[in-house]
Structure 1
Amino acid sequence: MDFSERLEALALKVRNQASAIETEEATKNAFVMPFIATILGYDVFDPLEVVPEFTADVGIKRGEKVDYAIVRDGEVQLLIECKAALGALKVENASQLFRYFGTTNARLAVLTNGVVWQFYTDLDAPNKMDSKPFLVLDLLDIDETLIPEIQKISKESFDLDSIINAAEELKYVGALRREIAAQFREPSDEWTRFFTTRVYEGMFTAKVREQFSVLVRKASKQFLTEQVNDRLKTALGAGVTVPAEPDSAREITSEQAAEDDLDRNTEIETTLEELEGYQIVKAIACSEVKPHRIVHRDQKSYFAILIDDNNRKPVARLHFNTKQKYLGLLDETKTETRHPIDSLDEIYAHSDAIREAVKRYL
C-alpha cells in the first residue's frame, strides 16, 4: 500500500474501534504504535528508533516521562505524548512536552489521543514549544491536503527543513479554516455584524442582530450547499475514467451491454449524502481491494456501489430517495436485503457483510 492507503486503513481501524478504547495504554497499543510503525515507518520494537517512556530530567522535575521519543541518527527528533482515545486534547495535557522540548534536540512534538494528532514546533520562540499546533490530523475526517505534510515526517521522507518552512503557513491556514468552519456552524456577533452592515442600512440594534444571526446562518449554509453542488455537477459532468478489465476477466455480452446502457440515465441527481455513504462503504471495502476498483453508479431507484464499474459485481446499494433510508446488501445469489438506517454512521455496523461481498469477486 502507498502512504495514503496506509493512512486510510488506519483511519478505518480507528472508526471501528475508537468507541471500545477506554484507557491510555489501550490507545497506545491500538492506534499510536500502529501510527508510528505503519504511517511514520519507525520500528516500534527497536530502541534505537523508538524509545518508550522517554526520560530526560528537567530542573526540579525528575523522573517525568514522555510516552515516545523518535530517534534519527542518534538524536531525538520527535516527542509524542498520548492520552486516552475518548479524552479531549487540551494544551494542559502537554506539560511534559513543553518541559522536554527545550532539553532535547527535538524540533517536533505531538499530542495525540490516537484519533486526533496535534503537531507542534517552535515558531514563536526558539527551543520553546508553541502553545498552538501547526498541523492537526483527524483520522475520523482526514484533510487530504495535509497528507504530503504528514509524509515529510515519516522515516522514508523525513525533511525537517521543509516541515519547519511550511509550518507557519500550515499553522495559520489551519487555524483560519477551523475558525471559518466554526463561524459557518454558529455565527458570532462580530461575524453577523460584519455581513449585516453590508446589506442592511439601518442601525445594528439588538433586535436586528437577533434577526440577522438566523439569516446569516441560513445564507452561509445555502452558500456551502451551492458550492458543493456545483463541484458535484462538474465532477459528474466530467465523468470518471476507470481502468477496464481485461477481456479474459470480463466477458462482454449483448445482455451486459443492454443492462449497462439502461443503467445510464441523465435525469438522475446524485446527492451529497449518497456520496458520503459511498465514501464510508469505500473506506470499509479498501481493506480488501484497491480503492480505485470501488466505484459508484447512480440510478433512479438506488445508488449502486460496484467493483470495477461492473453491475454484476455489486458491493452495496444506497436507497436514500425516501424518508426511511436503507442500506442494501446482496448475498451470493444477488438477493438483496435492505437494512433501515437513520444515520450514515450506521453503515459501519455492516462492515463485515460489505467486506464479504467484496471478497466474493476477488
Structure 2
Amino acid sequence: MRCRNLINRKRSITTEETTKISLILPLFRLLGYDTENPDEVKAEYACDVGVKTSEKVDLAILIDGEVKMLVECKSAKTKLNSNHLNQLLRYYSVSDCKIGVLTNGVEYRFFTDSVNAGRMDLEPFLIVDIINDDLTILELFSREKFNGEKISGFVDELKYRTVIREKLLSEFAYPSDEFVALIAKRVDSGRLTKDKRRKFKRLIGKELDAILSNVVVDYREKDNPVITTPEEIEGFYVVKSILSEIIDADRIAIRDRQSYCAILLDDNHNYPICRLYFNDLDNLAVAFFDSMQKTKKSGRIEEKIAISKVSKIYDYREKLLKTVRVYLKGKK
C-alpha cells in the first residue's frame, strides 16, 4: 500500500516537533532537496497503519512524486537505539519506500530491507555522524544522484564485506578443512589423506601464527618478548573492521603486554580504544573506555566486560565507535 499524505494544514505542529524537524532540514538542503517545496519534503507524513491513521512520521523525502526516504527524528539529546524503531518499522511495512532513516540530527542511521523484502531490517546498513565522519557517502542519497539500484548494490557490498572479514578472521584463527585442502594442493600434488590433512592443518596454523606474530610482536621487552596469540590477533582485526566505518584502519594499532593486549588510536597510549584480556581462554574479557572517565593519575578508567568468544566484540560496536569519535573530535 502506498503512503498517502494526511497533512492537516489547520492543525498546528507543536514546538517540539518543529524543533526536531528543523534539526534535519539543513542536511537535506545540502543534499539538493528543496525543503520549502512540499512536493519534495513533507513534514508530518502519514500512512494508513492498520486501524491507526493519526500517527505521522516526521518527514518524507520525495523525488518526482515518489517517496524515497521516510525519516523519524528524535531530539538532539536522545541516544538512538532499537526502541526508537517501532514507528518507522510500521510505516516502512506499508510503503513502497526502500530507505528508512532514524536520526537525532547528528547521527543518521539508514535502513533498508536487505533480509526480507518489504520488511525493514532491524540493523542499519549505514551510520553517519555528521560532525565527525566523512560525509562523502551521503551523495548516494542526494536528489541528483539518488539511484535505488546503486544503493542496493552498496548495501550488498557492505553485507558481503562484513561476512568476508568474519570468514577471513575465522580462517586466520582456526584454519578450516577447506582452507587447509586449498593450501595443501598448492604445495603437494599427492592425494590428501587424513593423516596428511592433519599434518598440513598443524603446519598452516603454525605458519599463520608466525606470520601474524611477526607483525605484532612487541620487542620493547627484549628479555621476555610478548607473542600475540591468535585470539588477540582475531580480536584486533574485529576491532579494525568495526572502526573502518569511520576511520582509516591503518590508524588502529596494537601493543601487546604480559597482562593484556592494548588497541590504540594512532599507536598512542593516550588514546586507548580497548584492551583484550585473553590470557585465560576460558575467561575472555574486553575493557572499554567510552565513559571517558579518568583516574587520579590521568589514566583512563576501563570498563571490563566478560565475553564468551572473540566475535562477541561485535556486540559492543557502539562503545568502540563512541570512543574513537570522541578522540577524533579532540584531535580536531
Give TM-score scaled by structure 2 length. 0.47
Give TM-score scaled by structure 1 length. 0.43
Structure with the higher fraction of residues in helix conformation: 1
